[in-house]
Amino acid sequence: MDLNYKLKENYYLQLQLYFAKDDGRVRKQIIRGTFVWFIILSVFSIFAFRGFDNPFSYFFPLAALLSLIFSPYRIKESIFKNYQEAVKVYKNEFGKDVNLKIDDVYIYLVDIDKEVKFKIETVETIIETGKFYYIKLQTNSIFIPKDELEDVNQIKEELLILSQKLNVNYKSDLDWKW
């Protein structure tokens, strides 16, 4: 297999988001953050409750309930922004043309500056989403953007054959969304 594509910031971002959500980190952060906001606002509502003539006796219980509804969205948006900032460390890679080559022994990633090779036996999982193929290695992950491929079905067949040859899981997650 021999592929050429251009590296984009969104590709790095989607890779990070996929694996963060897939391993459950995002869900844990959302649940923990929502619970913390609810507890804090509930404690304030207990202290504010000195009688119904106090306006805060209505505000904090209502805010606590609303936090259960809106905090997950706010926290998810915050996590997304954090990952957007985190992928900026790869800014020197954005816009580079890369060649991905897979043979019987190595996976090669070659761009204008460097060549990186990984042993083929370090492949743990091959994942297909709606917009990407991900090759998860023991120490790293490689993305293959579908929108830059000429024949997506041929690449899929080759990756299926590779997963069978290496006896690794091929995961189809076509409906994945952040």
Whole-Å CA distances, 36 to 17, 29, 39, 60: 23, 10, 5, 14
Is residue 59's pLDDT more than 90? no
pLDDT tens digits for range 77-127: 999 999 999 999 999 999 999 999 999 899 999 988 889 999 999 999 999
Contact residues for 173 (Cβ-Cβ < 8 A; gap 6+): 22, 127, 128, 129
The predicted pLDDT at position 50 comes to: 66
The predicted pLDDT at position 101 comes to: 94
Say if residues 176 and 30 touch (Cβ distance below 8 Å).
no
pLDDT tens digits for range 118-175: 999 999 999 999 999 999 999 999 999 999 988 899 999 999 999 999 999 999 999 9
Is residue 72's pLDDT more than 90? yes
Distance between CA atoms of 122 and 145, rounded to whole angstroms? 21
Is residue 47's pLDDT more than 80? no
The predicted pLDDT at position 78 comes to: 95
Is residue 54's pLDDT more than 90? no
Average pLDDT over residues 24-50: 88
Distance between CA atoms of 103 and 105, rounded to whole angstroms? 6
Average pLDDT over residues 1-30: 93
Distance between CA atoms of 132 and 126, rounded to whole angstroms? 11
The predicted pLDDT at position 52 comes to: 60
The least confident of 54-63, 64-73, 143-152 is: 54-63
